[in-house]
Amino acid sequence: TPQRRKIVTLVMPAMLARVSRSKVSCSRRSASLASSRPSVRVYAASSSSPFKPLDARLVLADGSVWKGTAFGARGTATGEVVFNTSLTGYQEILTDPSYAGQFVCFTCPHIGNVGTNTDDEESTNVHLGATIIHELSPMVSNHRNQKDLDTYLKEQNVLGIEGVDTRAITLRLRETGCLNGTISTDDSLSDDELLEMAKSFDIEGKDLISTVTTAEPYEWKDSTDEEWEFAGDGGAQRVKVVAYDFGVKRNILRRLASYGCDITVVPASFPADEVIAMNPDGVFLSNGPGDPSAVPYAVENTKKLVGKYPIFGICMGHQVLGQALGGSTYKLKFGHHGGNHPCKNIIAEGIQQVEITAQNHNFAVDVSAIGGDVMTSHINLNDQSCAGIESAEKRCFGIQYHPEASPGPHDADPAFKKFVDMCRA
């Protein structure tokens, strides 16, 4: 309307004037701020990538290829891939002779954070073929550390691969069973060539304890260090024990010594007649790697000793004892490797006993052919496999798990006292 047009005509010039003055004011303020700011420098992009190089490959026998970052030694290695569920004690696992011929895939995602030291070694060398982890710790924080894991594995000439999906690998192993694999940092080798290496490897039927046993007998005196001791009976009557070294861990020998044993460690093939000539109070059969059916000489020696002395077997020693008593062994789907395996004592009187145990084995004892008074003493509650055997008449027993732990729980430590009490009886 004429009246509205008149109002717009009067108001618009005033509004435009105010906007114009505001723009001038803002322009002056911007110029003032710009003059007070420091000059901006533009730097050239760094030539190094923030991401780790994918310079290592794990090729499994099923054809799957897992790319990651190399640490430790460089080269190519082939072995049987197993997973370990322990949350602590990676150095004890690395130096456990029972892992000879195998690659260990750690389910714990962060490895290397406490470094390494000589006190935690279960043997002089790293015996496994390679280490598979999700992430290598970028720093070490522990007062006992002597060198980081990368340096340690380089010195031991053992390969490592990080940055792979260890959860997916573990699920694959659980579904398909243990798979052989090849790890390589060699770009000249194709995936197909690495696959053929993996397919051609086989741990079944191999005598691996002969590769890790001692060459000569020796005496062992050291018990568990005082700061780590939680049981033991070293002040009581000492007993003489001959320990067959199938790949023995140092902490097993320490626990035996803590309970009062003076130990002579002998090679895996040491003749039974020479053991008898030593007149021991008991015989110990140690843990060790590989297929227990591939070491008939160990079984035959044990047969000659059964009934003459108290005998205690752990892991491989349990499997050797089982065969000496008339049983056989078979391979598990993916084995037992970790520190959280429940085993039930099915012969204990009164209250039912369940031990949470540390385990590391791919084979188990089939007790169906064992007769006499030999009985299954323990079963693994995860798969109902035999976890222990015992004969009161023959004064012998064996357990499939590791009572010394290292790493793992100490529920089964009384097994050492049981053996020593048998030797003193």
Distance CA 411, CA 232 (A): 14
Q: Which residues are catalytic?
A: 315, 402, 404
Query: Torsions phi, psi of 317, nearest 5?
Result: -60, -35
* 299-306: long-range pairs with CB below 8 Å, 24+: 299/323, 299/324, 300/272, 300/324, 301/244, 301/269, 301/270, 301/271, 301/272, 301/275, 302/272, 304/272, 304/273, 304/276, 305/272, 305/275, 305/276, 306/394, 306/396
Distance CA 181, CA 102 (A): 9
Q: What is the DSSP string of 138-160?
A: SS---TT--B-HHHHHHHHT-EE
CA distances, 184 to each of 148, 164, 261, 265 (Å): 22, 14, 45, 37
Q: Would you say 416 and 363 are in contact if contact means Cβ atoms under 8 Å apart? A: no
First to last CA, the chain: 122
Residue 420 CB coordination number (10 Å): 25
Q: What is the DSSP string of 77-125?
A: EEEEEEEE--SS-HHHHHT-GGGTTEEEEESSSEE-TT-B-GGG-SSSS
Burial of 414 (0-12, 13-18, 19+ CB in 10 A): middle
Q: Would you say 85 and 339 are in contact if contact means Cβ atoms under 8 Å apart? A: yes
Q: Which residue has the tokens 């940055």?
A: 163
